């Protein structure tokens, strides 16, 4: 290595090191604060808790309904992701395998992209009025239906590109052997598409778990409120509860961060909505 | 008889793809077209205390048009989006170029850098509230350490606005980084190598070869991010709720307050339809770019 190359390498690693510090430190400050006692939170910048306590987490579940929020999130995410995976994969299969007439394919894809891009605030007002008419405000069912619809756009888009990569011969062979279209799809195509299906499921889970504005407007009590809404309820208080607020942030982020670390290889495609392969 | 049966069979076979598509199309239409139509109807009605009190024609649109706060919110949104997306694109490009070389721990570096964009925007808001807080935060002490005055970021209009841009940059630079990095990996290496052999400096190679080749990817990334940035809501709701005053009141916050604080659904919808009209142009561009990019053209 010449001196110049060495200088270049030093610059690269220093810049990346700084970027990583900037990306991670805010997380650490939240975790750090969540593990401190109230007096320690106010005693200046301490990068390590003076005395580690789980009191903030205890209060979260005992005083601030986080058990309910967590349960609601789990039920709503599971149901809406399951529904959207089924109807989305069927549609993606149709788009990937058949020629369609009357511009149906074009219309379907434009609808898919449109739903992905509509800002949440735009959907909130009309959906609020609709749910109010059907008596579904502040219910888990109302949120499940909305998220199932929103997620379907993601599933169709992602699964379509995954299914196109699977050769047709395999399912045609299965159909010659007597399978119907649907059984061939289920027995042959779905197992082959499993990696794509898993990646898609992961992203719909993350997007649904993280959504805020729709859950905020459609719910009003811990009967149906999800984790992000629960987190925001801690801010409305007259006196901000820093400790529980930090702990709430950790509870809100933790499942997703663990997910991210486990499935990082599949991440690029989902996070970028298939903008790149 | 036989002929008719086979015709029925053919018809049934031809219907299969449409039947497979139907549930998803219904769900998608239910979540987009139906609310849009409902929203248009609501925008033509007048609401009092959250109750529909009848048709008013285009009064809501006229009221929005004459509302100085609305135009201020639009201006704030445009400024916020331009500033944030420009910084994110530059930083994302820089980071991607650094990571695209052969590096040790490239995978680990990548996953670390993208963590901010994976967590809920509400949690992002919480994190930065903890950092910006004047009594328990980190930003004030850091400024004081370097001999500056403590900025109390969220207390003043200008710093609050810039503070929110900084939050957006922290959260979304990773998206630009990720897309650009994937784009760099898929570039043909030959022209770049050839330029290097011909003795071009790395800066020349970048501007004459890498950047033009990267343009399509960059364009998709910027358009997608811009559309998303226009709808920014969660972090601002958690951090400032649009304040102090109206310094950080983006159009999403103003529309939310109009609808759910003042229960003026019609007025809010008129605002949002105006916003949608502006966004449709960007969305059409995005649809065009993504359809071309994903080899699904009929």
Distance CA B201, CA B197 (A): 10
Q: What is the mean pLDDT of residues A149-165?
A: 89
Using CA atoms in the order B97, B100, B102, B108, what is the torsion angle rounded to 10 degrees?
Answer: 110
- Count CB atoms within 10 A of the CB of residue A208: 27
Contact A122 B276 (CB under 8 A): yes
Contact B16 A246 (CB under 8 A): no
- The string of pLDDT tens digits covering residues B112-137 is 888 899 899 999 999 999 999 888 88
Distance CA A203, CA A206 (A): 5
Quick check: B297 pLDDT over 80? no
Quick check: B293 pLDDT over 70? no
Q: What is the mean pLDDT of residues A204-227?
A: 92
Distance CA B125, CA A213 (A): 13
Domain assignment present for B285: no
Chain A closest-CA separation from residue B3 CA (Å): 22
- Count CB atoms within 10 A of the CB of residue B86: 13
Quick check: B296 pLDDT over 50? no
Half-sphere exposure of B226 (CA within 13 A, CB side): 20
**Quick check: A154 and A271 in contact, CB under 8 A?**
no
Quick check: B287 pLDDT over 90? no
In terms of domains, do A116 and A250 share one? yes
Domain assignment present for A55: no
Which of B21, B31, B217 is facing A108, going by the closest CB pair?
B21
Lowest mean pLDDT among A257-271, B50-64, B133-147: A257-271
pLDDT band at B5 (very low <50, low <70, confident <90, very high): low
Q: What is the mean pLDDT of residues B68-79?
A: 94
In terms of domains, do A22 and A120 share one? no
Q: What was the pLDDT predicted at A270?
A: 63
Q: What was the pLDDT predicted at A71?
A: 94
- The string of pLDDT tens digits covering residues B206-225 is 888 888 888 888 888 898 89
Quick check: B58 pLDDT over 80? yes
In terms of domains, do A139 and A229 share one? yes
Quick check: A266 pLDDT over 70? no
pLDDT band at A274 (very low <50, low <70, confident <90, very high): low
Single pTM value for the model: 0.88
Contacts of A112 in chain B (CB under 8 A): 28
Q: What was the pLDDT predicted at A68?
A: 92
In terms of domains, do B46 and B146 share one? no
**Quick check: A65 and A230 in contact, CB under 8 A?**
yes
Domain assignment present for A46: no
Domain assignment present for A228: yes
Quick check: A258 pLDDT over 90? no
Domain assignment present for B297: no
The verdict on B141 touching A (C-beta cutoff 8 Å) is yes
Quick check: B52 pLDDT over 50? yes
Strand, helix or coil for residue A143: helix
Chain A closest-CA separation from residue B158 CA (Å): 22
In sequence order, the 6+-apart residues with CB closer than 8 A to the CB of B92 are B173, B174, B175, B176, B177, B178, B179, B180, B221
Chain B closest-CA separation from residue A142 CA (Å): 12
Domain assignment present for A139: yes
- The string of pLDDT tens digits covering residues A64-78 is 888 999 999 999 999
In terms of domains, do A124 and A23 share one? no
Nearest residue of chain A to residue B229 (CA atoms):
A119
The verdict on B229 touching A (C-beta cutoff 8 Å) is no
Chain B closest-CA separation from residue A256 CA (Å): 6
Quick check: A253 pLDDT over 70? yes
In terms of domains, do A131 and A177 share one? yes
Lowest mean pLDDT among B61-70, B225-234, B286-295: B286-295
The verdict on A126 touching B (C-beta cutoff 8 Å) is yes
**Phi, psi dihedrals of residue A36, rounded to the nearest 5°:** -95, 155
The verdict on A20 touching B (C-beta cutoff 8 Å) is yes
The verdict on B50 touching A (C-beta cutoff 8 Å) is no
Domain assignment present for A48: no
The full DSSP string for B206-270 is: IIIIIHHHHHHHHHHHHHHHHHHHHT--HHHHHHTTT-STTTT--HHHHHHIIIIIS--HHHHHH
Total tally of structural domains belonging to chain B = 2
Distance CA B208, CA A70 (A): 52
Contact A249 B294 (CB under 8 A): no
In terms of domains, do B29 and B145 share one? no
pLDDT band at A239 (very low <50, low <70, confident <90, very high): low
CATH number at residue B82: 1.10.3720.10
- Count CB atoms within 10 A of the CB of residue B255: 28
Domain assignment present for A105: yes
Instruction: State the ipTM, two decimals.
Output: 0.88
Which A residues 80-109 touch B at CB under 8 Å? Answer: 84, 87-88, 90-91, 93-95, 97-98, 100, 104-106, 108-109
Contact A206 B118 (CB under 8 A): yes
Q: What is the largest CA-CA distance in chain A?
A: 74
The verdict on A208 touching B (C-beta cutoff 8 Å) is no
Distance CA A204, CA A152 (A): 9
In terms of domains, do A142 and A179 share one? yes
The verdict on B238 touching A (C-beta cutoff 8 Å) is yes
Total tally of structural domains belonging to chain A = 2
Domain span holding position B179: 67-263
Q: What was the pLDDT predicted at A238?
A: 55
In terms of domains, do A166 and A81 share one? yes
Adjacent-strand bridge partners of B55: B45
pLDDT band at A19 (very low <50, low <70, confident <90, very high): very high
The verdict on A178 touching B (C-beta cutoff 8 Å) is no
* Angle of the B211-230 helix axis to the B157-185 helix axis, nearest 10: 140
Quick check: A267 pLDDT over 70? no
Domain span holding position A168: 69-271
Contact A42 B128 (CB under 8 A): no
Domain assignment present for A21: yes
Picking from B9, B16, B17 by the largest number of A CB atoms within 10 A of its own CB, the best residue to mutate is B17
Q: What was the pLDDT predicted at A272?
A: 61
The verdict on A190 touching B (C-beta cutoff 8 Å) is no
Instruction: Give the gyration radius of chain B's Cα atoms.
Output: 25
Distance CA A66, CA A58 (A): 10
Contact B178 A272 (CB under 8 A): yes
Classify burial at A179, counting beta carbons within 10 Å of its beta carbon; exposed 0-12, middle 13-18, buried 19 or more: middle
Quick check: B278 pLDDT over 70? yes
Contacts of B111 in chain A (CB under 8 A): 260-261, 264, 267
Share of chain B above pLDDT 70, in %: 95
In terms of domains, do A74 and A7 share one? no
Q: What was the pLDDT predicted at B298?
A: 28
Lowest mean pLDDT among A107-111, A153-157, B90-94, B242-246: A107-111
Average per-residue pLDDT in chain B?
86
Q: What is the mean pLDDT of residues B158-187?
A: 91
Q: What was the pLDDT predicted at A53?
A: 87
Quick check: A24 pLDDT over 80? yes
Q: What is residue A187's DSSP assignment? A: I
Distance CA B76, CA B297 (A): 38
Domain assignment present for A183: yes
Contacts of B74 in chain A (CB under 8 A): none
Picking from A48, A117, A131, A245 by the largest number of B CB atoms within 10 A of its own CB, the best residue to mutate is A117
What's the token pair of residue A152? Answer: 């379907």
In terms of domains, do A35 and A77 share one? no
Q: What is the mean pLDDT of residues A38-48?
A: 80
Quick check: A31 pLDDT over 70? yes
Contact A90 B276 (CB under 8 A): no
């Amino acid at each position: 290595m010449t001196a110049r190359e060495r200088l270049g390498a030093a610059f690269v690693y220093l810049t990346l090191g700084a970027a990583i510090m900037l990306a991670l430190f805010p997380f650490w400050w939240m975790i750090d604060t969540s593990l401190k006692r109230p007096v320690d939170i106010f005693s200046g910048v301490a990068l390590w808790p003076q005395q580690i306590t789980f009191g903030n987490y205890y209060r979260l579940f005992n005083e601030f309904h986080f058990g309910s929020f967590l349960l609601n999130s789990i039920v709503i995410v599971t149901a809406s992701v399951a529904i959207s995976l089924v109807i989305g994969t069927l549609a993606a299969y149709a788009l990937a395998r058949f020629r369609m007439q009357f511009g149906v394919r074009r219309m379907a894809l434009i609808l898919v992209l449109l739903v992905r891009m509509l800002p949440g605030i735009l959907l909130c007002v009309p959906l609020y009025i609709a749910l109010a008419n059907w008596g579904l405000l502040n219910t888990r069912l109302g949120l499940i239906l909305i998220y199932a619809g929103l997620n379907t756009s993601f599933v169709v888009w992602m699964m379509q590109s995954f299914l196109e990569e699977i050769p047709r011969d395999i399912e045609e062979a299965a159909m010659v052997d007597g399978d119907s279209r649907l059984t061939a799809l289920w027995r042959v195509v779905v197992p082959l598409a499993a990696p794509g299906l898993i990646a898609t499921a992961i992203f719909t889970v993350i997007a649904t778990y993280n959504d805020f504005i729709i859950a905020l407007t459609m719910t009003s009590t811990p009967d149906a409120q999800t984790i992000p809404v629960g987190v925001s309820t801690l801010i409305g208080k007259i006196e901000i509860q820093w400790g529980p607020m930090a702990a709430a942030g950790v509870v809100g982020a933790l499942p997703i961060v663990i997910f991210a670390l486990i499935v990082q290889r599949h991440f690029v495609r989902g996070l970028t909505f298939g903008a790149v392969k | 008889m036989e002929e008719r049966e086979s015709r029925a069979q053919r018809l049934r076979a031809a219907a299969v793809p449409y039947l497979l598509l139907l549930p998803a199309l219904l769900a998608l239409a239910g979540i987009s077209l139906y609310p849009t139509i409902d929203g248009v109807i609501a925008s033509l009605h007048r609401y009092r205390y959250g109750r529909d009190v009848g048709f008013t024609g285009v009064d809501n649109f006229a009221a929005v048009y004459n509302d100085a706060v609305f135009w201020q919110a639009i201006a704030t949104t445009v400024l916020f989006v331009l500033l944030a997306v420009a910084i994110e694109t530059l930083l994302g490009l820089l980071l991607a170029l650094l990571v695209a070389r052969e590096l040790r721990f490239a995978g680990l570096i990548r996953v670390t850098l993208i963590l901010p964009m994976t967590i809920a925007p509400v949690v992002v808001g919480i994190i930065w509230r903890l950092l910006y807080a004047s009594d328990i935060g980190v930003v004030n002490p850091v400024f004081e350490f370097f001999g500056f005055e403590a900025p109390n970021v969220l207390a003043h209009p200008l710093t609050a606005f810039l503070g929110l841009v900084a939050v957006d940059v922290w959260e979304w630079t990773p998206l630009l980084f990720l897309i650009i990095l994937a784009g760099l990996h898929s570039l043909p290496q030959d022209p770049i190598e050839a330029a290097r052999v011909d003795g071009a400096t790395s800066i020349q190679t970048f501007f004459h070869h890498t950047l033009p080749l990267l343009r399509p990817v960059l364009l998709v990334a910027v358009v997608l991010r811009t559309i998303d940035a226009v709808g920014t809501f969660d972090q601002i709701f958690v951090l400032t709720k649009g304040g102090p005053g109206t310094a950080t009141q983006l159009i999403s916050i103003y529309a939310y307050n109009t609808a759910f604080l003042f229960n003026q659904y019609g007025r809010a919808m008129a605002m949002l339809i105006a916003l949608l009209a502006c966004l449709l142009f960007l969305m059409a561009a995005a649809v065009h770019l993504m359809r071309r990019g994903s080899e699904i053209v009929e």
